[in-house]
Amino acid sequence: MPSTVDRVTLLGDVNEVNVLLVDDMIATGGTVDKNVRMLKEKHRPLSIHFACSLPLFNGKAKDIMSKLHKEGLLTSVIGTDAIYHGEEFLKNNLWYKEVSVAKYFAKVIFNINHYKSLSGLLE
């Protein structure tokens, strides 16, 4: 399956530190679950946060995140508003923190429509 993680390898020491895991998206939650459980079982991080650009939360992903948070394994998930979840979702899932990319997207759209370069936005 293309979105399935086969193996996770940790390089370095994460004992007694706050950990930030970053991925492009959370689809089914399998990667988050596997990584967080591996870190907690084999290491002693102070906290684990997971950040992604596209928090899709397909299938049971939201339930997986809630369970990890309830078990004290996952401190938070940080995602962007590139995927709309609504006020109800934000209110009921305190483990989820949302960052807005609206102004950045507006600049990209403006530059494209005015035939301007996008490279300056990447700096």
Contacts of 34 (CB under 8 A, 6+ apart): 5, 8
Q: For tokens 């490279």, what's the residue?
A: 119
- DSSP class of residue 56 equals -
pLDDT tens digits for the chain (123 residues)?
566 677 777 888 999 999 999 999 999 999 999 999 999 999 999 999 999 999 999 999 999 999 999 999 999 999 999 999 999 999 999 999 999 999 999 999 999 999 999 999 988
Beta bridge partners of 25: 54
Q: Is residue 109 part of a domain?
A: yes
Q: What is the CA radius of gyration of the chain?
A: 17
Q: Is residue 3 part of a domain?
A: no
Q: Which domain holds residue 52?
A: 18-122
Q: Is residue 44 part of a domain?
A: yes
Q: Is residue 10 part of a domain?
A: no
Which pTM value belongs to this model?
A: 0.87
Q: What is the largest CA-CA distance in the chain?
A: 52
Q: For tokens 């399956």, what's the residue?
A: 1
Q: Is residue 2 part of a domain?
A: no
Whole-angstrom distance, CA of residue 78 vs CA of residue 13? 23
How many domains does one find in the chain? 1
Can you read off the two tokens belonging to residue 7?
């193996």
Q: Is residue 114 part of a domain?
A: yes
Q: Is residue 77 part of a domain?
A: yes
* Nearest to 33, CA basis, from 77, 64, 75: 64
- CATH number, domain of 50, equals 3.40.50.2020
